[in-house]
Amino acid sequence: SVALKKKVEHSIQEKQKVLNHFKKEHGNAKLGDVTVGQVIGGMRSMPGLLYETSKLHHLDGITYRGKDLYQVKEQSPKAPGGSEPLPEAALWLLLTGEFPSQSELQEFQTELFNRGQIPAEIEKLIKSFPKTMHPMTQLSMGVLACQPLSKFAKAYHDGIHKSKYWDPTFEDALDVCARVSRIAAIIFHNCYGDNNKIPTADPALDYGANFAKQLGFNDKTFWELMRLYIVIHADHEGGNVSAHATHLVGSTLADPYLSFSAGMNGLAGPLHGLANQECLKFLLDLQDKLGKTWTEDDIRQYVKDTLASGKVVPGYGHAVLRKTDPRFMCELNFADQFISKDDNLVNLVKACYRVIPNVLEATGKVSNPWPNVDAGSGALLMHYGLNQFDYYTVLFGVSRAFGVMAAQVWSRGLGLPIERPNSFTLEHLIKKVEHD
């Protein structure tokens, strides 16, 4: 959309002025000290990144351009008759700081639909991936298969001026967001169905509905869930592994396809995006063991046994959050609005929420005993019959594209440099501390 691109260009120019002035005036201002514990401990809380699209607050959760998820849900344009925010509106918000008007939104929806087409030979390549290959591996490879389409890579090769990097990045970012749901739909049918019979996308539908339709789901409430799901998983500031990996690789001027694919490899880790698949497995094992007549004491014992066997309780804890994740609350609210009160798995999620924080707290070492986004999403998807749980991280990946790709437009717009932090061997670290 010409309007969107103009808005982005204008706000990048304004922000560049602020950045240049700020850097000149305050480039040497200190943000705090770095401790040995942080160097050894995964750089937790260490300031180190400029990331424009979202900011995580340890109690309020994520904000997209200053709006928390409850505000996003309330203020976002919706599908006709719907109550959930639209992913394409969230993408516009992440890029510009505002929601689109109704006419801007409609034009943008058509544009994303058109950008979502994948050339036949690339679709064929993605369809040839083995059925048994993990869907996240297929997602990362599927994104890479589209990399030859990168407009940034071509523009760089043709010698584009660095002040213009953001422009082909913007083009690629929208293409990646548009294409990733098509790639994900192909993967779904590669793994669990017949990839010659993928339902076609409908230009009259919005992004979330079209994605659900291509997966083969026609329940309108599930379409609402997909819209909400994509919006709440889109961005979680810059330091989480998928955002940071995308940002790091992008800082080398690797194009958005290369960097997003790297982010997806990080999302595939069990402590990050894969936790939602692990979390559902945990709930299903619990259900298998306890049936439908469980009590909270049964759950308590099961969680204690899990901890005693040296495993983490998936869906609980967070590196930054210190309260129940608002994304989890959005899922619970969705369940209350749309899902009947006798869904055993959803009831188990709610009971876990009552029991698990106390058990984790009692260990004395878990920094945040509260549920994160993964604690609820699997049960909602299961309710609608999406029971292929090794696919869940792919849904997360589709959503994450919206945040990390919008962020990459801004990183190129602000001219951020290649990342190169300092590292130490343990011997160097010991020497440094002993000498100081």
The residues of the shown chain that bind ligand FCX, judged by CB under 6 A, are 240, 271-273, 275, 307, 312-319, 360, 365-368, 372-374
- Active-site hit among 175, 255, 374, 383: 374
Q: Report how far residue 195's alpha carbon sits from residue 315's, in angstroms, rounded to the nearest whole number.
A: 32
Q: Judged by CB, which is closer to ligand FCX: 128, or 363?
A: 363
Q: Report how far residue 223's alpha carbon sits from residue 335's, in angstroms, rounded to the nearest whole number.
A: 14
Token pair for 423: 């590292």
Instruction: Provide the 3-class DSSP secondary structure of residue 371.
Output: strand
Q: Report how far residue 210's alpha carbon sits from residue 394's, in angstroms, rounded to the nearest whole number.
A: 16
Residue 253 to residues 156, 172, 216: CA-CA distances in angstroms? 9, 13, 37
Token pair for 340: 């009947």
How crowded is the C-beta side of 380, counted as CA atoms within 13 Å? 29
Helix (H) or strand (E) holding 334: helix 326-338
Token pair for 45: 């809380």
Q: Judged by CB, which is closer to ligand FCX: 314, or 376?
A: 314
| Least distance CB 312 / ligand FCX (angstroms) | 4
| Least distance CB 282 / ligand FCX (angstroms) | 10
| Least distance CB 243 / ligand FCX (angstroms) | 10
| Least distance CB 368 / ligand FCX (angstroms) | 6
339: which DSSP letter? S
78: which DSSP letter? B
- Active-site hit among 318, 390, 428, 436: 318
| Least distance CB 48 / ligand FCX (angstroms) | 16
| Least distance CB 275 / ligand FCX (angstroms) | 3
For 51, list phi and psi in degrees, rounded to 5.
-145, 115
Is residue 214 within 8 A of residue 185, CB to CB? The reply is yes
Closest Cα to residue 11, out of 104, 103, 95, 87?
95
Is 194 designated active site?
Answer: no
Is 57 designated active site?
Answer: no
Q: Judged by CB, which is closer to ligand FCX: 401, or 416?
A: 401
Q: Judged by CB, which is closer to ligand FCX: 365, or 435?
A: 365
**Which residue number places its CB atom closest to ligand FCX?**
317
| Least distance CB 395 / ligand FCX (angstroms) | 13
| Least distance CB 61 / ligand FCX (angstroms) | 11
- Active-site hit among 236, 272, 325, 383: 272
Q: Judged by CB, which is closer to ligand FCX: 313, or 416?
A: 313
Q: Judged by CB, which is closer to ligand FCX: 262, or 373?
A: 373
Q: Judged by CB, which is closer to ligand FCX: 319, or 414?
A: 319
Is 233 designated active site?
Answer: no
Q: Judged by CB, which is closer to ligand FCX: 107, or 390?
A: 390
Amino acid code (one letter) for 115: R
**DSSP per residue, 5-68:** HHHHHHHHHHHHHHHHHHHHHHTT----PPPHHHHHTTTTT-------SEEEETTTEEEETTEE
Instruction: Provide the 3-class DSSP secondary structure of residue 97.
Output: coil
Q: Alpha helices of 116-267 — where are they, by DSSP H? A: 120-127, 135-145, 151-157, 166-192, 207-215, 220-232, 241-250, 256-267
Residues with active-site annotation: 272, 318, 374
